[in-house]
Amino acid sequence: MFEITARTQRKTQPEWSRLQRSLFEVMRTSVDRFVDDYVADSGEPLWPPDGHVGSDGFDDIVEGVYNWPLVYAMGGDESVLEHARDVYNGALRRASETPTPFGHPMVVDEFEHCRDWFHMGEGNLYTYNMGLAAPDDAAVVERAERFAGLYFDDADANNYDAENRLVRGPMNGGAGPDHADFSAYEHHPYGADYRWASHGLPWRDLEFEEAADLLDPGTEDRLFEVLNERCGKGDIPLNLNITSLMTNAYLHTGDETYREWAITYLEAWRERTAENGGIIPDNVGRSGEIGEYTDGRWYGGYYGWSWGGWHYVGIGPMVAAENAVLLEGEREFLEFPRSQLDILIENGIEVSEDAVHDTLYVPHKYGGEGDYHYDAGGVLTEDDGEVLWRDGWYEFKPHRDDPYAVHLWYMSMSDADRERVRRLRDWSKQDWRRVDPRASTKHGAGHEYAWLAYLDGEFPDYPSRLMKANHERVQEQLELMRREDTARAELDEDYLRDRNPVFHRGLLQLTMGAPQPVYYGGLVMAQIRHFDAGRQRPGLPEDVAALVTNVDADGIDLTLVNGGGRDRELIVQAGAYAEHEFETVSYNDGSSRVDSNTLRVSIPSGTRLSLSAELDRFTNDPTYALPWNR
């Protein structure tokens, strides 16, 4: 392990570093308060209530604590990790005793019984973050292997058909894919008003004239029949998120079986895409036939091109490609999601926003001709108000809400992928030099573009502004806790998620040079991560703050600051999973050839260190193993 000692005395502590260290502390105390107020003494969440019968909601409960292990892994207090374990285990106990309409509980063998990988991708973020936080926890490793094992063709759940290389249902899980009665899932508040009034009808061949017809309960029952016929069986692109489950198991064990599953399944979808003329189909029957249950149409599947469109279709290809690059080291896998995004760009329409700038409005959906009157604010329309439909493509709008272009660049570091991000810039609304504490979303995180502006030298005070925004969000959550009635009789499945006082995204960008993972099931992809050498645990040592000031194809620039009164030692690792390699490192007015995936840094009290490191990316076999155990 190459060793470096900081020699530069800091004259003052930078504002960003002070705010970063205090953010760890304020989140620690906020988690203590949160658990006291919103979790029972048994460690169980307060939802589901006694007597509840339902199929949905477990992922929402886990979302309330999913990022606590990640913050611990970046330097958060040990208590944050322990609270996360307690609440997760309590949620498992409660959900294992909560019945569904199908005769089994909400979780089966600690895994969600039968849901789509939009929702299960959210809930399993906790599982992946625990790999970063506690890879030496036997329970974490055992769950990783058991969860992945549900998707081998010899598993009792019967989720996977190895011969046809397909997942047997859009909904699957611990109980298997044969419990997809849509009337048990698509009810209020996630029924007609939510799905169809905002997204439009996924098919044009039904007896309904417009989406508003589905607001009638009787009409919705008819829709459930059609959903069960057309969307109850077969494979969809969202199932590509299962590659994260396999990658997670591989990172724990190094077992080639998991790597092979992930690559084989991804290649099956690439072949289907080629068969379909280069566009990924959104539904494949159990025989392997595209459009088997939709009269031969490649669109109209669950969470498909005519449903939520690219926002949902793009998740699986991007997540699976990232996992494949991590596992194999080959950037060529990125051509899969890249090709889909380029099809949208080729069919896009430029709209003049001002005298200087045009915004590209790309189509987000594909479907047959028909009535597209629905609540589609912000999309291009015809003169009569009808949603613009052109050659099957519709819902033309900016790409601002989706992270796929940013992730393509981040994984490839190619100039062409970076230019694609600029090409998709939304000049109508997005200010790339703005930090708004309330602007972030689950999926896009909200500040990736501001971070890119910082990396481009256009937003120099971004680190401080971002940390201030994170502090403000924590304080808002604390204020909500103070205002609320402790009785909380009307809590729903979102109550923990909506009150979570832990915010990780700014810390990911600043300390690891990493974007928010693709929210619905992606793993953390990072340039570097840190370990406390003195305490032999993940994360920055006490008093030490980190700022990645540059990320490009050559490597990174990193500044470390010790703002405390004690000398500290840390290990800086190349990649979240040691998948990268440090080549040449420049520091203290000199440079050295390193050829290692770790650096040991001594940073005495009152010092700072700035270094530039060339990285050979995705060259090592990835692992969760801690540096001192490798």
If you average pLDDT over residues 99-109, what whole number do you get?
Answer: 94
Position with higher pLDDT, 490 vs 628: 628
d(CA 258, CA 246): 5
The pLDDT score that the predictor gives to residue 187 is: 52
Identify any residues that bridge with 587 across adjacent strands, giving them in sequence order.
Answer: 590, 611
Distance between CA atoms of residues 490 and 79, nearest Å: 29
User: What's the burial of 322, exposed, middle or buried (CB within 10 Å: 0-12/13-18/19+)?
Assistant: buried
Token output for 67: 């990022």
Nearest Cα to Cα of residue 207 among 196, 192, 223, 221: 223
| CA distances to 191, 444, 527, 598 from 52, in Å | 19, 33, 44, 50
The per-residue pLDDT of the chain, averaged, comes to: 92
d(CA 136, CA 498): 31
Residues 6+ apart with CB under 8 A from 590: none
Question: In the predicted model, what is the mean pLDDT of residues 605-616?
Answer: 97
pLDDT band at 560 (very low <50, low <70, confident <90, very high): very high
More confident residue, 624 or 483: 624
Percent with pLDDT over 90 in the chain? 79
Which of these ranges, 155-159, 250-254, 390-394, 432-436, has the smallest mean pLDDT? 432-436
Residue 485 has pLDDT above 90, yes or no: no
Q: HSE on the CB side for 460, CA within 13 Å? A: 1
Burial state string for 55-77 with b = 16 or more CB within 10 A and e = fewer than 16? bbbbbbbbbbbbbbbbbbbbbbb
Model pLDDT, residue 188: 45
What average pLDDT does this structure show over 28-42? Answer: 95
Rounded distance between C-alpha atoms, residue 147 and residue 124, angstroms: 10
On the question of pLDDT at 324 being above 80, the answer is yes
Query: What integer is the mean pLDDT of 312-340?
Result: 98
- What is the spatial distance between Cα 147 and Cα 318, in angstroms, rounded to a whole number? 21
**C-alpha count within 13 angstroms, C-beta hemisphere, residue 239:** 31
User: Taking residues 83-95, what's their average pLDDT?
Assistant: 98
210-268 pLDDT, tens digit per residue, is 666 666 767 777 778 888 899 999 999 999 999 999 999 999 999 999 999 999 999 99
- In the chain, domain spans: 2-11+524-629
Neighbouring C-alpha atoms within 13 Å toward the C-beta of 612 = 8
DSSP β-bridge partners for residue 614: 555
pLDDT, greater one: 219 or 622: 622
* Residue range 367-391, pLDDT digits in tens: 988 666 676 778 998 888 888 999 9
What are the start-end ranges of the H helices in 39-178? 58-63, 68-74, 78-96, 119-123, 125-133, 138-149
Question: Residue 87 pLDDT more than 50?
Answer: yes
Residue type, 448: E
In the chain, DSSP finds a helix count (H) and a strand count (E) of 20, 19
Is the model's pLDDT at 190 over the cut of 50? no
Report the share of the chain in percent with pLDDT over 70: 93
End-to-end CA distance of the chain: 11
**pLDDT value at position 21?**
98
* Average pLDDT, integer, range 108-112: 96
Q: Are residues 181 and 144 in contact, defined by beta-carbon separation less than 8 angstroms?
A: no
Q: What is the pLDDT of residue 226?
A: 84
What pLDDT score does 183 carry? 78
The top-level CATH class assigned to 2-11+524-629 is: mainly beta
Confidence band for 189, pLDDT divided at 50, 70 and 90: very low
pLDDT value at 400 more than 80? no
pLDDT at 487: 52
Q: What's residue 4's pLDDT?
A: 97
pLDDT at 31: 98
